[in-house]
């Protein structure tokens, strides 16, 4: 048997004890795995971060939109009549549903061409697209019997209201008082007050009427313009 030289044994011993070398392929694989993990973590963080910001923006946007809708409700109505212009302040806080319906009908042109078909001196002027004589006839049958006038805000002159009867289609009418009315709340929903054009209301009040309080010469609403500010 051949004898191994000491120098050869030493070389073999060093080869066995030395650490094994990592191949370039393994290093590349490790780097790719690490890169994928970092990318995945970053993508996850970005997704949840953007989702949180989006939810916050949507919440704030909805609140802002709701606030804008509330604040954008018209505060004034400019009623253009054949006798002149009447400016009304709308009571959107006191009568929100009536004001909302009134504004909706204004945008649809419901009041364009509406006639004041009942004019009762020292009482009311009444505009409607429907003939309902019983309403004003009932009021006037008792107007001379009023002994004590309630002077609360809703019973003053130059108040804008509509009949409490159910509105359907053409049924939304307009009353403008020309004197305090004690039981106004029992008859109409008040939703505004004339702040300019009282002289126009009084001019309409003075027109000649027949025995049924119908103006002999037509007095009409030409149109209504809604305003947020005057």
Asked if the structure places residue 61 within a domain, the reply is: no
Question: Parallel, antiparallel, or unpaired for β 124-128 and 84-90?
Answer: unpaired
Q: Tell me: the pLDDT tens digits for 95-135?
A: 899 999 999 999 999 999 999 999 999 989 999 987 655 55
Q: Is the pLDDT of residue 213 over 50?
A: yes
Asked if the structure places residue 166 within a domain, the reply is: yes
Q: Tell me: the pLDDT tens digits for 39-91?
A: 778 778 777 776 665 454 444 444 433 443 444 679 999 999 999 999 999 99
Amino acid 61: pLDDT: 43
Q: Is the pLDDT of residue 220 over 90?
A: yes
What is the pTM assigned to this prediction?
Answer: 0.63
**Where is average pLDDT lowest: 75-84, 177-186, 189-198, 199-208?**
177-186
Asked if the structure places residue 6 within a domain, the reply is: no
- Phi/psi at 35 (nearest 5 deg)? -65, -40
Amino acid 223: pLDDT: 96
Amino acid 113: pLDDT: 95
Residues 6+ apart with CB under 8 A from 135: 118, 126, 163, 165
Number of folded domains in the chain? 1
Asked if the structure places residue 90 within a domain, the reply is: yes
Half-sphere exposure of 191 (CA within 13 A, CB side): 24
Asked if the structure places residue 37 within a domain, the reply is: no
Instruction: Name the residue range of residue 109's domain.
Output: 76-227
Structure confidence at residue 27 as a pLDDT band (50, 70, 90): confident
Asked if the structure places residue 47 within a domain, the reply is: no
Asked if the structure places residue 113 within a domain, the reply is: yes
- Rounded to an integer, what distance in angstroms lies between the CA atom of residue 223 and that of residue 220? 9
pLDDT mean over 137-142? 54
Asked if the structure places residue 196 within a domain, the reply is: yes
Structure confidence at residue 144 as a pLDDT band (50, 70, 90): very low
Q: What is the CATH number of the domain that holds 102?
A: 2.40.100.10
Helix (H) or strand (E) holding 20: none
């Amino acid at each position: 048997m051949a004898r191994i030289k000491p120098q050869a044994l030493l070389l073999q011993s060093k080869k066995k004890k030395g650490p094994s070398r990592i191949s370039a392929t393994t290093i590349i694989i490790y780097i790719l795995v690490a890169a994928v993990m970092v990318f995945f973590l970053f993508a996850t963080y970005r997704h949840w971060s953007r989702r949180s910001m989006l939810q916050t923006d949507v919440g704030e946007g909805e609140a802002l939109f709701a606030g804008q809708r509330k604040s954008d409700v018209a505060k004034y109505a400019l009623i253009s009549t054949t006798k002149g212009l009447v400016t009304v302040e709308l009571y959107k806080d006191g009568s929100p549903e009536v004001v909302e319906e009134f504004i909706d009908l204004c945008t649809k042109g419901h009041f364009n061409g509406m006639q004041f078909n009942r004019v009762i001196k020292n009482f009311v002027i009444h505009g409607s697209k429907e003939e309902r004589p019983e309403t004003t006839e009932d009021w006037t049958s008792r107007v001379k019997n009023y002994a004590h006038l309630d002077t609360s805000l809703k019973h003053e002159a130059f108040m804008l209201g509509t009949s409490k009867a159910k509105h359907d289609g053409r049924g939304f009418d307009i009353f403008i008082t020309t004197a305090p009315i004690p039981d106004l709340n029992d008859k109409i929903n008040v939703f505004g007050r004339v702040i300019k054009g009282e002289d126009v209301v009084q001019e309409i009040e003075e027109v000649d009427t027949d025995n049924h309080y119908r103006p002999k010469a037509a007095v009409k609403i030409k149109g209504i313009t809604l305003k947020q500010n005057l």
